[in-house]
Structure 1
Amino acid sequence: MARRALTTTAAALTAAAALLLTGCGGSDKSSSDDIKGADTGSGSPSASASTSDAGAPDISVPSDFHLVFDFDVPSDAKQASALSDAQNYIRALKHGISKQDPNDPAYQYYSTGQAAQYSKSQIQAWVKGHWTVTGTDKYYDANVTSLSGGKRELVTFCRNQAKSYSKEIKSGKILYTGENADSYVKYQLLMYPPTGSAKAWKASLVEVKGKAKECQK
């Protein structure tokens, strides 16, 4: 099922990324807080950091799919922007799935290199299965660590996909699954600041850890 394939495919794509992230200094491994009663709409406080980008692509998702980002906004402006566009990277991936377009410009706007390859491969898997997204997808316990004197930011966060489901496009059938160890995922995204005419931070590397015990509650 596509919802589970997301992490399985990631393992093959991110082996090199894991080594590179470790070489960059790793991430904060402190224990995470409980999932809070977050806004179940498509936004969060961190979303406002990139709203001034008039050239940003559409990253909307279907009305029956809710992305919840329960993130505390960092006081540092650069870290706040990096976290906001890491969130937009996730939105762009889901947008590409809903549009069934492996070459969707949305994820390309917020990613490059291995992170862009990861998004494309995920969208391709959903297209092949004739699935789209539905339900509620929760992200929480975000942490941002500055690397190389602030030249890049390592963004980490947890995910609970227990209520995020695949839906067959043709029949509309929702493929329900119960909550289990596979529901909990840990993300690490290496974010680079805008260069040239670009306005968005871009994810260059993404590591996805399945059955993340540190995210389980």
Structure 2
Amino acid sequence: MARRALPTTAAAFTAAAALLLTGCGGGDKSSSDDIKGADTGSSSPSASASDAGRPDVSVPKDLNLVFDFDQPSDPKQAAALADAENYLRAKFHGIAAKDPDDPAYQFYSDGQAKQYVKSQIQTWAKGDWTPTGTDKYYNAETTTLSGGKRVLVTFCENQAKAYSKETKTGKVLRGKESLDSYLKQRLLMSPASGSSQVWKVQVTEVVGKAKECRV
């Protein structure tokens, strides 16, 4: 059985997001139901990821992360979406390294989102698995919240061809495509302290069996 992203609950996301938004003065009138826009990406790290001061987010050669996003016209949304990609790369970088304290994911996350990635890394490390195959992300939507201080990024994920591999034996644990292969993710993001160029994920929600993503 392939090891996949561990779902979080909508209630957990709502509670954590509410605390974050309350702390920064609340949100604007935008709704996550009104999110429009996406970003084009590829399986290679974005140009911004190679900028000075940013960590290495490379992943194993046999793991292909595909970001089929369109570029938002809003600069803040575009920057947030680019670093949402880096957050996902950083997660797999830490999983492959089996390092729960890997600096890459910590650079792109805080709070609940950082704890979520750490738990993912610990789970994979405990099973002695490493990721392989193709993980596809698509149908990205972005919306600005809190008067421009936050961006909510929503997208689908198809894990049908993403697998785990036993580190010791090299055996790939393949699973059949099903509704379990499709996830919906929401990332609540804000600029890193002291930087207008780096966006960090504060809260993450992963919902399994996402029928709307099965296209």
Which range, TM-score by smaller chain? 0.7 to 0.9
CA contact (8 A) 1:2 1:126 kept: no
Shift in alpha-carbon separation, 1:198–1:31, aligned structure 2, 3 A: closer
Identify the range of structure 1 (115-124 vs 16-25) with the bigger mean alpha-carbon deviation. 16-25
Equivalence for 1:16: 12
Is 2:166 the counterpart of 1:165?
no
CA contact (8 A) 1:53 1:199 kept: no
Instruction: Name the Cα RMSD after superposition.
Output: 2.5
Written as runs of structure 1 = structure 2, the 5 A alignment for 1:48-87 is: 48=47, 50-51=48-49, 53-87=51-85
User: How many pairs align?
Assistant: 205
Shift in alpha-carbon separation, 1:136–1:29, aligned structure 2, 3 A: farther
CA contact (8 A) 1:135 1:163 kept: yes
CA contact (8 A) 1:114 1:205 kept: yes
TM-aligned CA deviation for residue 29 of structure 1: 6.5
Q: Secondary structure at the match of 2:32?
A: coil
TM-aligned CA deviation for residue 7 of structure 1: 2.7
Q: For 2:191, give the aligned amino acid.
A: P
Q: For 1:28, give the aligned amino acid.
A: D
TM-aligned CA deviation for residue 21 of structure 1: 3.9
Q: For 2:44, give the aligned amino acid.
A: G
**CA-to-partner distance for each residue in 1:83-123, whole Å, 9 max, x for gaps?**
00011000000000000101100000000000000000000
Extract unaligned runs of 5+ from structure 1. 33-37
**What is the alpha-carbon distance in structure 1 between the residues aligned to residue 153 and residue 188 of structure 2?**
6
CA contact (8 A) 1:193 1:201 kept: yes
**What is the alpha-carbon distance in structure 1 between the residues aligned to residue 35 and residue 101 of structure 2?**
36
TM-aligned CA deviation for residue 172 of structure 1: 0.2
Equivalence for 2:32: 27
Is 2:27 the counterpart of 1:7?
no
Equivalence for 1:35: none
TM-aligned CA deviation for residue 192 of structure 1: 0.4
In the superposition, the TM-score normalised over structure 1's length comes to 0.86
CA contact (8 A) 2:6 2:120 kept: no
**What is the alpha-carbon distance in structure 2 between the residues aligned to residue 211 and residue 117 of structure 1?**
23
CA contact (8 A) 2:2 2:174 kept: no
**CA-to-partner distance for each residue in 1:18-61, whole Å, 9 max, x for gaps?**
334477565136799xxxxx98x6238xx33x246311111000
**What is the alpha-carbon distance in structure 1 between the residues aligned to residue 85 and residue 120 of structure 2?**
17
Equivalence for 2:96: 98
**What is the alpha-carbon distance in structure 1 between the residues aligned to residue 85 and residue 185 of structure 2?**
11
Q: For 1:3, give the aligned amino acid.
A: R
Identify the range of structure 1 (108-117 vs 51-60) with the bigger mean alpha-carbon deviation. 51-60
TM-aligned CA deviation for residue 198 of structure 1: 7.5
TM-aligned CA deviation for residue 193 of structure 1: 1.2
Is 2:111 the counterpart of 1:113?
yes
Shift in alpha-carbon separation, 1:197–1:20, aligned structure 2, 3 A: closer
**What is the alpha-carbon distance in structure 2 between the residues aligned to residue 43 and residue 213 of structure 1?**
28
Q: Secondary structure at the match of 2:43?
A: coil
Shift in alpha-carbon separation, 1:173–1:26, aligned structure 2, 3 A: farther
**What is the alpha-carbon distance in structure 1 between the residues aligned to residue 63 and residue 50 of structure 2?**
25
Extract unaligned runs of 5+ from structure 2. 22-26
**What is the alpha-carbon distance in structure 1 between the residues aligned to residue 191 and residue 109 of structure 2?**
11
Q: Secondary structure at the match of 1:3?
A: coil
Same amino acid, percent of matched pairs: 59
Written as runs of structure 1 = structure 2, the 5 A alignment for 1:164-183 is: 164-183=162-181
